[in-house]
Amino acid sequence: MAIKRDSYSADEHSILYAETGGCCPLCTMPILFQKKDSRKPSKGYEVAHIYPLNPTQSQATALVGYPVPSDINALENVIALCPTCHTKYDKDFKLDELIRLRKIKDGYLSEARAKQTASQHTIQEEVYEILDAIAAFDFDETALSPTNFNVSTVDKKLKTGMSPLQKHEIKIYAISFYVRIRDHIRTLEQQDQASVRILQNQINSYYLAMNKQNPENKDLVFNYVAQWMSAKTNKPILAAKVLTSFFVQNCEVFDVGTE
Ligand SMILES: [Zn+2]
């Protein structure tokens, strides 16, 4: 029997629109647009089922072996697409395209979860000062001193689930900034050791929450920690990435080698 298509509420539309960032995830065209002679924007998207609502014969053939979602009309199985991409997706259905769309949607869902979790995690004021210091470091390339510590710690800690490119970024930041951040944090510790401890615990606890939500993807975990730090403090994301890299190198934070 054919499954009835749900009609989605205004709030659900808000979610579906917002998660795309306002652009069709397949062709990047804006999905709200301004008609000539109109002061209000018009909706330029349709709600598309990722796993087809009522698969046609050819869709069913392509879907053999692919798990059927428990609720096909659930928000987790729908995504806003521009009408052109929606029609093409349904008419010219391919399993590869479903897998691609599923991956995009899973990215939206994990980002929404990270943001929601971020709102519940506070961060010590000390981090503002550290991020300001990082942003203000006078960068002298001749001062790079990779021999001061063992970069292989990063490899050990991030054995699984992180891409080589992401590991490389963390190592570069660690090499360039490790000593200066360590010294800066030591100075802060002399003033108020408890606060620095609390800060480390806060970062650790947000990391653990992200790791729980994205157990297979350490790239995401790293970036969510940096985004959280940047969003909480309104400081540049680059400074937050540098500091997150420091914690990867220095602390029990990101210590996932024992999994
Ligand atoms: Zn499109």
160 Cα: distance to centroid of ligand 1 (angstroms): 34
Q: What's the pLDDT score for residue 175?
A: 82
Which amino acid is residue 120, in one-letter code? Q
Residue ranges of the chain with per-residue pLDDT less than 50: 256-259
**Which DSSP string do the residues of 153-213 spell out, in sequence order?**
HHHHHT-SS--HHHHHHHHHHHHHHHHHHHHHHHHHHHH-HHHHHHHHHHHHHHHHHHHHH
- Percentage of the residues of the chain whose pLDDT score is greater than 70: 90
52 Cα: distance to centroid of ligand 1 (angstroms): 17
Q: What's the pLDDT score for residue 149?
A: 59
Q: What's the pLDDT score for residue 145?
A: 54
For the entire predicted model, the pTM comes to: 0.80
71 Cα: distance to centroid of ligand 1 (angstroms): 25
49 Cα: distance to centroid of ligand 1 (angstroms): 14
Which residues pair with residue 41 across a beta bridge?
34
SS3 127: helix
4 Cα: distance to centroid of ligand 1 (angstroms): 25
Q: Maximum distance among all alpha carbons in the chain?
A: 71
